[in-house]
Structure 1
Amino acid sequence: MKTEKEKMLAGDIYQAFDEALVAERDKAKGLCFRLNQTCSTAREQRRAIVDELLGYVSDAWLESPFHCDYGYNIKVGEGFYANHGCTILDGAPVRFGDNCLLAPGVVIATAGHPLDPVTRAAGDEFAKPITVGNDVWFGANVTVCPGVTIGDNVVIGAGSVVTKDLPANTVCVGSPAKPIKPIE
Structure 2
Amino acid sequence: MSSKLKTETAKGVLDASKSGGVHGGAYFSLKHRLFRAVWNVVWLVFASWTPPPLHPWRRFLLRLFGAKIGKRTRIYGSARIWYPPNLEMGDYSVLGWKVNCYSQGKIVLEDYANVAQYVHLVTGSHDIDDPSFQLYTKPIRICRHAWIASDAFVGPGVTVHEGAVLGGRAVAFRDLDAWTVYVGNPARVVRPRKRFDL
Same fold (TM over 0.5): yes
1:90-169 pair list within 5 angstroms: 90-116=103-129, 118-120=131-133, 124-169=134-179
The aligned residue for residue 21 of structure 2 is none
**Number of equivalenced pairs:** 176
State which of 70, 94, 97 in structure 2 corresponds to 1:84: 97
The aligned residue for residue 70 of structure 1 is 83
Deviations 1:130-169 (A, max 9, x none): 1121001111001100011111001110000111111101
CA distance 1:140–1:74, shift in 2 (3 Å): same
Using the size of structure 2 for normalisation, the TM-score is: 0.78
Residue 20, structure 1, aligned to residue 22, structure 2: no
Tell which deviates more after alignment, 111-120 or 101-110.
111-120
Deviations 1:45-92 (A, max 9, x none): 333223224434533211121112211111111111111100111121
Deviations 1:71-129 (A, max 9, x none): 11111111111111001111211111110111110110001122148423xxx311111
Q: Which runs of 5+ in 2 are unaligned?
A: 1-7, 17-25
Give the match's secondary structure for 2:182: strand
Tell which deviates more after alignment, 130-139 or 7-16.
7-16
Does structure 2 conserve the Cα–Cα contact (< 8 Å) formed by 1:54 and 1:75? no
Tell which deviates more after alignment, 62-71 or 155-164.
62-71
CA distance 1:13–1:132, shift in 2 (3 Å): farther
Q: RMSD of aligned C-alpha atoms?
A: 2.4
Q: Which runs of 5+ in 1 are unaligned?
A: 1-5
When Rg is computed on C-alpha atoms for both structures, the one with the higher figure is 2
The aligned residue for residue 51 of structure 1 is 63
Does structure 2 conserve the Cα–Cα contact (< 8 Å) formed by 1:137 and 1:155? yes
In the TM superposition, residue 11 of structure 1 has moved relative to its aligned partner by 8.1
The aligned residue for residue 36 of structure 1 is 48
